[in-house]
Chains A and B, each alone.
Chain A
Amino acid sequence: MNQIIINTILPGLMQLGIILFISPLIVGVIRKIKAFFQNRRGADFLQPYRNLRKQFQKEVVISSTASWITPAMPYILFSTTIAAALLIPTFMVIAPLGGLADTLTIIYLLALGSFFLALAGLDQGSAFGGMGSSRHMTIASLSEPAMILSIFAVGVNSATGNISQLISQGSVSEFFLNPLYVFSFLALFIVMIAETSRIPVDNPATHLELTMIHEAMILDYSGRYLAFIEWSSAIKLMLFLTLLANIFFPIGIITNLTVFGAIAAIIIYIIKILIFASVIAIIESTMAKFRLFRVPDLLWIAFMLSLLGIIIHFANI
């Protein structure tokens, strides 16, 4: 019994805690770095936490056109995102629930969330929502195959679909030597940008009808529902950064839970995530958003990169 608590429940709770309470920090850091590039002082790192607290306490205004899909969606989105996040390893090689499913399930859990997100976009009957859903599903339908292919590409090398095994078998030196890893890293990075609605695919800071995608779908949300959605977005961003950081840079991940080891591993993990977050912030500050119909080109590139990685790997070049 003690063994189960130490090996599963305790790390599970720790991971849940990290996912829930560190994710807004990442959003805050990205905003702060962007503010620096824009020569502003910007709000401090903790502003996303204050936003969440404020939104949770506010009254909810619901469109009179909406059906039960609108109030149900934030919970489904929140649940699928957390479920997916619990399936991937963060600071320990073995994810607390990692044994329950493989990477494919993680991808499709996220897809379940975005399915309902897109439905909710159509629910209020506003043209913005429909536009957002349409664009969101278009991009999702291209980024999903790119993601499956890139994860498959990494899995090809270690012959596994389980992320914990991927991580325990990968090493940093391999990443720099093996073209398979380089290509699939780039592919997954592009997918991450598309899936988390970042520049150059989408702009999380815009409410301009011609450019917004994710924001268009949730335009009519407020109060605690909006808080759930924004929290989910932050967790999803963290999830993708974790995938990138842990699969391709598996440094400082521990296999057994010890007090000192855990603290060190968590700190290293958060630092890794923050480095990736700063890369996103730099990209967002230096690039302009793509025109909607340029986005598929970007995703085709991701797709082709993974395929190229697989071909090179199989051909043993």
Chain B
Amino acid sequence: MLAFLINNSFTFLILFLLAGAFSAFIFAKNKDLSNIIACSAAAIASIFGGITALSVIITGKSLAFSLPQTIPYFHITFFVDNLAAYFILIISIVTIAVSIYAIEYVKEYFGKYNIGVLGFLYNIFILSLFLVVSAGNIFWFLIVWELMSVSSYFLVIYEYDKEENQKAGFLYFIMTHIGAAFISLALLLLYKYSGSLNFADLNNIGSALPSATKDTVFLLAFLGFGSKAGIVPLHIWLPAAHPAAPSHVSSLMSGVMLKIAIYGFIRVIFSFLGASVLWWGILVIIIATISAILGVLYALTEHDMKRLLAFHSVENIGIILIGVGGAMIFSSLGFYSLAAVALIGGLFHTLNHAVFKGLLFLGAGAIIKSTHTRNMEDLGGLIKLMPYTALFFLIGAVSISALPPFNGFASEWLVFQSLFASIAISGLALKILFAIVIAVLALTSALAAACFVKAFGITFLALPRSEHAEHAKEAGWPIKLGMGFLALLCIVFGVYPLPVLNLLNTIASGLLSNPIIPNLTNSSTLFVTPFTNGFSSFSPVWIAVLILGIVIISYILERILIGKIKKRAYNTWDCGSHLNPRMQYTATAFSKPIQMIFKNIYRPHEKIETNYYNEGTKYFMKQMKYETALTEIYGKYLYTPIADFIIYFSTKMHRVQYGNVHIYLLYIFITLIALLMFFK
């Protein structure tokens, strides 16, 4: 029985999600039932997903099967190797937490929107995520990719009556389809040379391609997958769409869907093309570095919690791609073990980002459910009202800030090590590039820490800033359980990353076709040693033990040597006035110094209006109004010109539009002739 379940776990996964989707729709009248069905189907399916992934990883045997073919070109082929299994594991981990969480969170929408539709879309969306990473041929991959885009689009506009959501959805729909167009082109170009749609036949096709075609495929794949992953400047949909979706879906979109693009990119670059061209890696690492730093800088100025988290996704995708880009550079220069360390770092950060970003979005959702606001300036003091949410959010915040002993640090440490090791390569310009990347990555993670001191401090600490925040209540058990699970994983992957790193070692060595890095992890001494020359090593377990040990020992010694603590509660020092929430630092004020330092990037406009009692003398102010807004550089210098051009071009095109069907038929006829002449 057990063997049967394990062997067919992938089939069960699909069946459960389909069943969940349709029964949620059928039972839509009964909101509770519909919701429970949708969530539990997704949760069970993700358990099967975990089983599928682990069985592929443990046995080392790839899963490959096809459904019988009925329509020409329309094969349904599944192919799950170690890389795909790793991503299935990521999807499963986040999905199970999110599905438990959703049992309670979705109640927020009872009576306002159709719960059956939400359950349907939710299951279909998860199904599409699983299908994309398990797709085994080009055609099927593009179809399920589209399914993923469309189902997530409908989830973004789920609260359809809000105008901002419609706008966000529209932007998302356009950007995701521009991306899909690039991906289709890239994959079809590969098909042109391989003559086969199967991914298995595309492996290492790169060596057979002319170099111009290879470059084109790389650029198309980078643009296509990059726009889905949210690299700057193609990220504009991300801070709009992620906040618009229901929070548990935002968690999946940010935690998982972006990673699917990373999967596709790695598949095309490493499996198909073979990362052998230097400038590809240089381009990727430069764009990744820009994404990382701009992501965190824009996050810092946000005070909408979900937008802040969405900008951090841009940042973390940047960090992941720094690892991937580094791997591409090293691999093209023949430094395969350096490439492996960089790729392991990037892939490990992919998992870690899924876990902590999933957690943070769930935390934001718990706050929104309880206070009905996303604006941090209206929050405060929630740590006393929602202690569990606060603790879990804090764990997520520390993890994303890359502080030991949590998971964000473990993966960023590896990325850093691979960058440090760049001193081994030759080429002055390249080395300087790496030094700059190191510096910017360091700046990014330090700014992320600043941003999360703001996000946690303003939201959870001190006094509530509004009535909403005063009446906040702790969420129920499903929400706590969902967040608690991910918070636990943040600690587990941070303190004991060794098994994951061993798995990634196998994956990376397969992708780069070089032997496994020896001694990457040492299970008896619990060390991670990426390089044999002993450049650096560290033991996450012992560091955690050290920190905790000193805390405990100093606490005990303090109690023994000095005795019990005498405590008295008293008002905060406020210079003798009366402390009120308005006196507290706000999120805007908190990030103001950073905004001033980086004003060349932010280009803020400020407007100050002052009214005086006597306009003539201007001694006594009656009222002062201060407004500030930032310029989005990519909006101003990239998107606005493009939009202007399209409008200009369309206006010119009016001339050939006569509204006469015959003329249009003539156009079609001419086009057809032209196509037949040029592309026989």
Residue positions of A touching B, CB distance < 8 A: 56-57, 59-69, 75-76, 78-80, 82-83, 86, 97, 99-105, 108-109, 111-112, 115, 118-119, 121-131, 133-135, 137-138, 140-142, 144-145, 148-149, 152, 155-156, 159-162, 165, 219-220, 223-224, 228, 292-293, 296, 303, 307, 310-311, 314-315
Residues in B neighbouring A111, C-beta threshold 8 A: 401, 403, 446, 449
CB under 8 Å from chain A, chain B span 421-449: 423, 428, 431-432, 435-436, 438-440, 442-443, 445-447, 449
B554 touches A100 (CB 8 A): no
Whether A104 contacts B457 by the Cβ 8 Å rule is no
B574 at the interface (CB under 8 A from A): yes
Known: A118-B453, A119-B456. Is A138-B597 also a contact (CB below 8 A)?
yes
**B520 at the binding interface (Cβ < 8 Å):** no
Q: Which of these, A86, A137, A220, contacts B546 with CB under 8 Å?
A: A86
Pairwise interchain contact B572-A126, C-beta atoms closer than 8 A = yes
Q: Provide the residues of chain A in CB contact with B401, threshold 8 Å.
A: 111, 115
Q: Is B565 an interface residue (CB 8 A)?
A: yes
Chain A residues within 8 Å of B449, by CB: 111, 115, 137, 140-141
Assuming the contacts A82-B550, A311-B432, asked whether A161 and B420 have C-beta atoms less than 8 A apart, the reply is yes
Known A83-B543, A134-B585, A134-B593; judge A149-B461 contact (CB<8 A): no
Question: Does chain A have a CB within 8 A of B404?
Answer: yes
Shortest C-beta distance, B319 to chain A (Å), equals 14
For B533, the chain A residues whose CB sits under 8 A away are 159
Q: Is B398 an interface residue (CB 8 A)?
A: yes
**A contact residues around B409 at 8 Å (CB):** 108
Check B571 against A100 for contact (C-beta < 8 Å). no
A162: min CB distance to chain B, Å = 6
14 A/B residue pairs, CB under 8 Å, sorted by A = A64-B571, A64-B572, A75-B554, A78-B550, A83-B546, A104-B416, A115-B452, A125-B572, A131-B585, A141-B443, A142-B443, A160-B536, A161-B536, A223-B566
**Would you call A100 and B539 a contact (CB within 8 A)?**
yes
Residue of A nearest to B525 (CB): A99
CA separation between A59 and B569, bound complex, in Å?
Answer: 11
Q: Within the assembled complex, what's the spacing in Å between the Cα atoms of A303 and B401?
A: 21
A60 B535 Cβ-Cβ under 8 A: no
7 A-B pairs closest in CB distance: A130-B585, A125-B462, A122-B457, A161-B536, A145-B442, A137-B450, A102-B536
**C-alpha spacing A103/B538, complex, angstroms:** 10
Known A-B contacts A102-B537, A123-B462, A130-B589; A141 and B404 likewise in contact (beta carbons under 8 Å): no
Q: A112's closest neighbor in chain B, by CB?
A: B403
With known contacts A75-B555, A82-B550, A65–B453 Cβ distance under 8 A: no
Residue contact A101 to B569, C-beta cutoff 8 Å: no
Is the beta-carbon distance between A149 and B404 smaller than 8 angstroms? no
Nearest CB in chain A to that of B550: its residue: A79
Residue of A nearest to B398 (CB): A115
Which residues in chain B, 591-632, are within 8 Å of chain A measured between CB atoms?
591-594, 596-597
- The answer to whether B420 and A155 touch across the interface, beta carbons within 8 angstroms, is yes
In the complex, are the beta carbons of A125 and B584 less than 8 A apart? yes
Chain B residues with Cβ below 8 Å from A109 are 404, 543, 547
Specify which of A135, A140, A310 lies most central, judged by the most chain B CB atoms within 10 Å of its CB: A310
Question: How far apart are the CA atoms of A100 and B589 in the complex, in Å?
Answer: 39
Residue of A with least CB distance to B549: A79
Please tell me if B335 contacts chain A, counting CB pairs below 8 Å: no
Indicate the member of B381, B420, B583 with the most A CB atoms within 10 Å. Answer: B420
Docked pose: A315 CA to B452 CA in angstroms: 39
Question: With A105-B543, A126-B583 in contact, do A310 and B432 touch (Cβ < 8 Å)?
Answer: yes
A152 to B551, CA, bound (A): 30
CA distance A57 to B563 in the complex (A): 9
Q: Are the CB atoms of B572 and A160 closer together than 8 Å?
A: no
Does B280 have its Cβ within 8 Å of any Cβ on chain A?
no
The reply to whether B450 and A140 form a contact with Cβ atoms under 8 Å apart is: yes
Q: How far does the alpha carbon of A191 sit from the alpha carbon of B551 in the complex, in Å?
A: 27
* Docked-complex contact A161 and B417, CB < 8 angstroms: yes
A315–B431 Cα distance when bound, in Å, is: 10
Contacts of A68 in B (CB 8 A): 383
Question: Complex formed: what's the CA distance from A79 to B551 in Å?
Answer: 5
Tell me the minimal C-beta distance from B28 to chain A in angstroms: 42
Provide the bound-state CA to CA distance between A103 and B442, in Å.
Answer: 13
Contact flag A126-B590 (CB < 8 Å), given A78-B550, A144-B446: no
Question: How far, in whole Å, are A115 and B449 apart by their CA atoms in the complex?
Answer: 7
Q: Point out the residues of chain A lying under 8 angstroms from B463, CB to CB.
A: 65, 125
List 10 extra interface pairs beyond A138-B450, A311-B435, CB under 8 A. Answer: A64-B570, A100-B543, A105-B538, A109-B404, A127-B585, A137-B450, A141-B447, A149-B439, A149-B442, A165-B534
Q: Which residues of A contact B653 (CB under 8 A)?
A: none
Q: Which residues of A contact B450 (CB under 8 A)?
A: 118, 137-138, 140-141
- B381-429: which residues lie under 8 A (CB-CB) from chain A? 381, 383-384, 390, 398, 401-404, 409, 413, 416-417, 420, 423, 428
Q: Which residues of B contact A121 (CB under 8 A)?
A: 457
Q: Does B558 contact A (CB under 8 A)?
A: yes
The residues of B that contact A149 with a CB separation of less than 8 Å are 435, 438-439, 442
- Complex formed: what's the CA distance from A217 to B380 in Å? 18
Expressed in whole angstroms, the Cα–Cα distance for A67 and B459 within the complex equals 13
Q: Is the CB of A119 within 8 A of B461?
A: yes
Q: Chain A residues with Cβ under 8 A from B572's Cβ?
A: 63-66, 124-126, 220
Are A161 and B535 touching (Cβ within 8 A)? yes
Nearest chain A CB to B616 CB, angstrom units = 32
Given A102-B537, A112-B403, A224-B558, A65:B579 Cβ within 8 A: yes
Bound Cα distance A75, B547 (Å): 10
Interface membership of B568, Cβ < 8 A? yes
- Cα(A152)–Cα(B434), bound, Å: 11
Is B233 part of the contact surface with A, judged by Cβ < 8 Å? no
B534: chain A residues at CB < 8 Å are 160, 162, 165
Contact A101 B417 (CB under 8 A): no
B562 touches A105 (CB 8 A): no
Compute how far the CA of A308 lies from the CA of B390 in the bound complex, rounded to whole angstroms. Answer: 43
Task: Name which residue of chain A comes closest to B563, CB basis.
Answer: A57
Q: Are B461 and A315 in contact (CB under 8 A)?
A: no
**In this assembly, does B654 line the interface, its C-beta being within 8 Å of a C-beta of chain A?**
no
Q: Are A122's CB and B461's CB within 8 A?
A: yes
Q: Is B162 an interface residue (CB 8 A)?
A: no
Q: A220 contacts which chain B residues (CB < 8 A)?
A: 572-573
Chain A residues with CB under 8 Å of B456's CB are 119
- Whether A133 lies near B581 (C-beta < 8 A) is no
> Does B652 make an interface contact (CB < 8 A)?
no
Q: How close is B408's CB to chain A, nearest CB, in angstroms?
A: 10
Is B458 interfacial (CB-CB < 8 Å)?
A: yes
Cβ of B639 under 8 Å from chain A: no
Chain B residues whose CB sits within 8 angstroms of the CB of A105 once the complex forms? 404, 413, 538, 543
- Among B543, B554, B570, B596, the residue within 8 A (CB) of A293 is B596
Residues from chain A with Cβ under 8 Å of B536 in the complex: 102-104, 160-162
| Complex-state Cα separation, A67 to B381, whole angstroms | 9
| B567 lies within 8 A of chain A by Cβ | yes
* Contact status A59-B461, CB under 8 Å: no
Confirm or deny: B170 has a beta carbon within 8 angstroms of a beta carbon on chain A.
no
Closest approach, in angstroms, between the C-beta of A8 and any C-beta of chain B? 13
Contacts of A108 in B (CB 8 A): 402-404, 409, 413
Would A160 and B535 count as touching, CB distance under 8 A? yes
Contact partners of A140 in chain B: CB under 8 A: 446, 449-450
Residues of B within 8 A of A315 (CB): 428
Q: Which of B381, B461, B542, B597 contacts A100 (CB 8 A)?
A: B542
Q: Is the CB of B457 within 8 A of A135?
A: no
- What are the residues of chain A within 8 A of B569 when measuring CB–CB? 61-64
CB-based contact A69/B383 at 8 Å: yes
Nearest chain B CB to A176 CB, angstrom units: 23
Determine whether the beta carbon of A69 is less than 8 Å from that of B461. Answer: yes
Whole-angstrom distance between the alpha carbons of A25 and B558 in the complex? Answer: 21
> Contact at A134–B592, with CB atoms within 8 Å?
yes
Decide: B435 and A76 in contact? CB cutoff 8 A. no
Name the residue on A nearest B570 (C-beta): A61
B573 touches A137 (CB 8 A): no
Checking A119, A142, A311 against B457 with a beta-carbon cut-off of 8 angstroms, the contacting residue is A119
